[in-house]
Chains A and B, each alone.
Chain A
C-alpha cells in the first residue's frame, strides 16, 4: 500500500526513522528520566545487532528467539556496563560511557568471533509465522516495536519506579534520604534502556542484512543524543519528533546527508545555548505557546 504510493525508498526511510525513534526513546529512559547522560548508547544498539546477527547466521536461530535473545543479552551487558554510574556522576559518567562505546566497537572490530572489520553479512530477513517480512511488512514490525517502546515509556513514567528515576535525576542525595535505592534504580535504568536499544539493533541487522563495527561508533551515540536533545529531553513526544526529523530529513536532503554528523553536533551546541529543553520539551518556547493556546 504505502510502497505503491511512496515507493521503496520512503519505506526504508520510515523503517530507519522508526528504529532511531526506539533508540531515542530508550536513551530517554536512561538520560531523560534517570538523568544518567550516556555518550555510548550506540554500543548497546551494536550489541543487540551483533547478538541477533550471530544467533541467526552462525547458530541457525529463528528471528523471534534471536530478537528476544538480543534484548536479553544487551540487558545483561547494559546492567554491567551501568556499574560505573554507581561510582561516578555527571561529566565523569559521560566520559566513562564514551569509553565503553570505543571498547565495544573495538571488540567488534578486532575479534574474529565478531567478524572483525568485515562485519557480519548474509543476515536474513525476519520470518514470522511463515511470512518473510520485507518492505512494508518489515515497517509494520518496526512500528509494532516502536509502539511497545512508547507504551513502556508512558507506563514507567507513571509508576513508583518512574518517580524514583525523576528523583535521582533531580538530586541523588535527597533521593537516598527519601528511601530510594539509587544504585538499584540506576542499574534498572541501564537495563531497560539497553534492552530496548538491543531490540532496535536486532531489527537494524535484519533489515540491512549486513552490519559493520562502524555502524555503532561513537558518532552514532552523538546522533542519538542530539535527536533526544533536539526534540526535548525527558519527553516521549520530543524523543519521537527528534528521531523523525533528524533521521528522515538527511535522507531526503542529499546536501544535508553529506554533512549529517556536522549537523548533529551543531544542533547539540545550538540547543544547549538557546533551547536546552528542546523544540517541544517541557518548558520549551514552543510547548509553552501551545499550552497557552490550548487554555484559551
Chain B
C-alpha cells in the first residue's frame, strides 16, 4: 500500500513545549483513520502542520510523495487536502451557498483569472448544490451562515472542505456538540464519503464514535504516537489505558 500521506519525524516546538514530537504516520489511499488521545496530545497541532497553518520545527510531510511542509495553507488546500476546524469558522455574513462557493472557486485564486469570471454561474451553483444536498444543507442554501445552529455549522465545515474536491479530508472533532440523531447522520456521511474514495483522518474525542467508524486508530499522548492498530488492539493496549487512566472519556 502506497502512502497518500506520510509524516517523517514531524516535530513542532512551542517555545520549550514539544506539542508534536517526532511523529511518523502513514495513511494509505482510501483509508479512514481515527486519531485519538487525551487533551493536549497534539492532535490538532498535527492537523495544523499537515494543512499548513503551522510550520514544523523539524521533519517532513509527504503528500502523494511531494514534500508539502512549509507550503501556505491555500496551496495545500488546492493540492487536495481539505480540513475542518474544531470550532467552526463559517464566513458568517455570507450565505451557506456562497460559503461553499468560496472553496469551489479554489482553482481561480492563483492568478488574475479571479477577476475574469463571475462566481454565481449556474454551472458552478449546480455543483455546489449537489454538495449541499449531500451534507443536508440544501434547505439552508440562502441562510446567513452565522445564523446556523452548531450542528449545521459543523456540516457546513464538511461541505466547504468537500468543495475543494479533496483526496484527503482532515476532520477535527466533527461530532462535538451534536445530538444523537445528528451524530448518526454524520456517521453515515463520513462512511459514504470514504466509500467514494476520499481518504479521511478523523480527530475525535468521542471514543465510541471513532471506534465504530474507523478501521485503524492512531493514539497520541504528549505529542507522540503511543499506539496504532485496529480499535480492538488499541483498546487493549496498556499504554493507551495508561494515557487515559482516570480520564472519564475512556470507556
Contact = CB atoms under 8 A, between A and B. Distances in A.
Interface size class of A (residues with CB under 8 A): 20 to 34
B118 interface: yes
Interface in A158-199: 158-164, 166-167, 170-171, 173-182, 184-185
B115 A181 contact: no
A178 B102 CA distance: 7
Given A164-B109, A166-B94, A171-B91, A179 B78 contact: yes
Given A176-B74, A177-B73, A185-B109, A163 B89 contact: no
A132 interface: no
Contacts of A170: 90-94
A233 to B, nearest CB: 11
Interface string B161-186: 10110000000000000000000000
B117 A180 contact: no
A170 B108 CA distance: 19
Contact of A163 (B73, B77, B78, B119): B119
Contacts of B105: 160, 163-164, 179
A163 B102 contact: yes
Given A164-B102, A166-B98, A167-B102, A179 B116 contact: no
B101 A163 contact: yes
B244 interface: no
Given A166-B94, A173-B89, A180 B119 contact: no
Contacts of B90: 170-171, 174
Interface residues of B, number: 39
A175 B109 CA distance: 11
Contact of A159 (B73, B94, B102, B118): B118
A161 B164 CA distance: 17
Nearest to B51: A177
A103 interface: no
Interface in A57-71: none
Nearest to B93: A170
A128 interface: no
A46 B106 CA distance: 36
A286 interface: no
Nearest to A165: B114
A153 to B, nearest CB: 13
A173 B85 CA distance: 10
Contacts of B74: 175-182
A179 B77 contact: yes
Nearest to B160: A178
Given A170-B92, A170-B93, A179 B114 contact: no
A127 interface: no
A133 to B, nearest CB: 30
A156 interface: yes
A178 B115 contact: no
A181 B120 contact: no
A131 to B, nearest CB: 33
A158 B85 contact: no
A177 B83 contact: yes
B236 interface: no
A158 B108 contact: no
B115 to A, nearest CB: 5
Contact of B106 (A166, A174, A179): A179
Contacts of A174: 85, 89-91, 160
What are the 3 closest A-B residue pairs judged by CB atoms, nearest first? Answer: A179-B106, A170-B91, A161-B114
24 contacts: A159-B114, A159-B116, A159-B118, A160-B105, A160-B108, A160-B114, A160-B118, A167-B94, A167-B102, A174-B85, A174-B91, A175-B91, A176-B52, A176-B53, A176-B72, A177-B51, A177-B74, A177-B77, A179-B78, A179-B106, A179-B109, A181-B109, A182-B74, A185-B114
